[in-house]
Chain A
Amino acid sequence: MITGQGITKTFRQRGGVLGAREVRALRGVDFAVGRGGAVSFIGESGCGKTTLGRIIAGLEGHDSGEITVDGVAMSSLRPRARRPYFRRIQLIHQDPYSALNPTRTVYQALLAPLALRARQTGRPASWVDGRAGELLDLVGLDPDYVLPRYPHQLSGGMRQRVVIARALTVDPEMLVADEAVSMIDVSLRLGILALLRDLRERLGVSVLFITHDVATARYIGDDGELYVIYRGQVVERGPVETIISAPVHPYTQALLSAIPVLHGLERPGAQPVAPTGTLEEDKPDAGCLFARRCPFATARCAEEVPVLGRTGDIPQEHACFHPEARSVVAVPAGRA
């Protein structure tokens, strides 16, 4: 179980054309990912989802808030003592082309972490070769073909599977997959998503999936939770299927409305929501962060800050004063 409470992070830039400025990447985010669970962070670029993923993977510090791994608060530990905890959380990068060393074969890429693992667990060195084969089998690759090859000899989908196999060498509890399929050919994406879903079931590994493409979030598990992040704040949170079929926050609705409709196969949703203005225009920090782009904003939204929580009989949590479920996503053309 990995949790976070009130995570904040501010990036400060010095100099540059615009002078010193601050970017509030995260404004107090809570999350919890249980064993074998699936959590997806969605939002526009710059919303803070990647920063949050890096903080959770231990690659980036945060300013305030607490991360716990299996009940142990990370702030209570010295940096060195945190390492074995963060080793349980492995990051899968967006780009499988740059995540693998081009001068090393797949075997060499897997050897080092496996040898380390063998030492840690008191296994003989001979265990390594067998384990490398097992892991490649697990991610759907033929070890005999893949092991002696260099990354450039593999397709993007195969490379991403190798990256996942490498992450599994240290027996992680959680994989943090940051846009893990966006650079994979369309016809092969589902294979990677299904692999992540499969690893959850077979190994009990949990998956934190970071993406701007909401549709892909469904495919790592329909039991998953969705976090919609806007400018460093979670604005809606709940079961994936609930949020897709009945989103209540206007930002979530705008995100879902923006997904292309496959005309001929689908019809647009009945109540699409278009945001007014662009991300850059929504600067002021008072009130609701989305108010200036929100077509439903009222005077209250400009003054008060909505807090994430449940209201009425809406099943998911949201941070909106005027939550209203709207059907925004496309429906199959055949259905009435």
Chain B
Amino acid sequence: MPSTPSDTREDSPPDAPGRTAPGVRIGGLSVVYRTPAGELPAVRGIDLELPPGTITGVVGESGSGKSTLALSLLNAVQPPGRISAGSVQIDGLGDVVTLRGEELRRARGRHVGYVFQAAQNSLNPLKPVGRQLLDLGRSHGVADLRALVREARDLLGRMGLDGARVLDSHQHELSGGMRQRVGIMFALVLNAHLVVLDEPTTALDMITQATILRIIREVHEERGLTTLVITHDLGVVAEVADRLAVMYGGRVVEQGPTRQVLGDPLHPYTRGLIRAIPRLVGDIGEATALPGRPPTLATIPAAGCVFRERCPLRMDLCATQEPPTVAHGGRLVACHAVEGGIREERAGAGNHGGQDGAGGPDGRDGAEDPDGRAVAAGAREEQA
């Protein structure tokens, strides 16, 4: 296994032996964006570990900072954004945050494969897929381009496509699900063992989504990868991820084994999010929208808890002090109310739907609430 980046680069073939799933340790990561109102944090003080060989899912709504976090793994945050603090340690590569220029370019693709959101936008519409593959090979100094093409064909075949045909195709000749698989092929063909998938199934319909999720899981296991999946859809992480991190307003508010987090969510945001998902069975009235709306870069509170505006368990403390991240069994949770409040309340209530402090007793009235409250919150920001 290579201990420094320089060992593997240069002319090693795509199937260099001895590579294994790397671990990733993100420590104290903060990313800020420069705006007319000063530098605003999109991601703040994130600690997240991706154990080797696992699939981690990061879930968040728009503006939660999840895509910024994913880009940080490639040190690819674009101006006006910049990584302002923290480190991203990747086994065999070191701290990505300190890499620059050519070093960084070579690490991307070789070590870290990235499948972009909406794969169709990351393919060149004027060139057949195969030509783009050769470009990739040349730019990474791959000596044996035939072997690279063979590898690509095998990967596509593995994902249920006719590899030769796909390599001869332009992107407009491929369906959404096929493009997504081409994106995965590009991420893996240089033998990266850390793969980041940003919204891998958005814009795909259910059956195609199920197929892609199965492929992600199978390829992950067969090739021995460490995988990070970024999504807004809890269903997606529930299907593929071993571990789950929930982001809100640039912070990771809860993380732990997927089944634990879904089966027994601790943070009020996680609980609200799960309850807000339309389900196929059960009482329609049990599902409730979260009141308020997710914060944007400009409205993320500078002090205190980022979720407090929408939180049913809000206390005075939440306005002034940022909740520390505390271990609860196998879980990490950042909430002042979790220790006392939720546990006690739950012991009494016994069911998740029964302790809805904010959304209103039934879905209908609750629905009037959400944006009404958002308005109130927005108006306050306006005056401030």
Partner-B contacts on A (CB < 8 A) = 17, 44-45, 140-142, 145-146, 155-158, 161, 185-195, 197-198, 212-216, 218-219, 222, 244-245, 254-265, 274-275, 278-280, 329-333
CA separation between A154 and B156, bound complex, in Å? 42
Query: Chain B's nearest CB lies how many Å from the CB of A209?
Result: 12
Report chain A residues within 8 Å CB of B309: none
Report chain A residues within 8 Å CB of B372: 140-142
CA separation between A263 and B207, bound complex, in Å? 18
A141-B371, A263-B262, A329-B280 are known contacts; what are 6 more A-B pairs with Cβ within 8 Å?
A158-B375, A186-B276, A215-B279, A260-B235, A263-B239, A280-B175
Query: Chain A's nearest CB lies how many Å from the CB of B169?
Result: 9
CA separation between A185 and B61, bound complex, in Å? 6
Q: Which of A185, A190, A330 contacts B281 (CB 8 A)?
A: A330
Whether the pair B379, A222 counts as a contact (CB closer than 8 A) is: no
Query: Chain B's nearest CB lies how many Å from the CB of A266?
Result: 8
Whether the pair B258, A194 counts as a contact (CB closer than 8 A) is: no
Whether the pair A278, B177 counts as a contact (CB closer than 8 A) is: yes
Query: Chain B's nearest CB lies how many Å from the CB of A43?
Result: 8
Pair count A-B, CB < 8 A: 182
Whether the pair B175, A333 counts as a contact (CB closer than 8 A) is: no
CA separation between A271 and B61, bound complex, in Å? 33
Classify the secondary structure of B's interface with A. Answer: helix
CA separation between A194 and B210, bound complex, in Å? 28
Size band of the B side of the interface?
A: 35 or more
Whether the pair A213, B278 counts as a contact (CB closer than 8 A) is: yes
List the one stretch of B2-10, B96-104, B144-152, B362-370 in contact with chain A.
B362-370
The 8 A CB mask of B229-251 against A (1 = contact, 0 = none) is: 00011111011000000000000
Report chain B residues within 8 Å CB of A254: 207
Assess whether B71 is interfacial by the CB under 8 Å rule. Answer: no
Report chain A residues within 8 Å CB of B236: 260
Q: Which of A155, A191, A259, A333 contacts B235 (CB 8 A)?
A: A259
Query: Chain A's nearest CB lies how many Å from the CB of B103?
Result: 38
Q: Which of A190, A213, A216, A331 contacts B363 (CB 8 A)?
A: A190
Report chain A residues within 8 Å CB of B371: 140-141, 155, 157-158, 161, 188, 191
21 A–B contact pairs at CB < 8 A? A44-B205, A44-B207, A140-B371, A141-B375, A142-B375, A145-B375, A145-B379, A186-B232, A186-B277, A191-B367, A194-B367, A214-B280, A215-B277, A219-B278, A219-B363, A258-B206, A258-B210, A262-B277, A264-B261, A264-B263, A265-B274
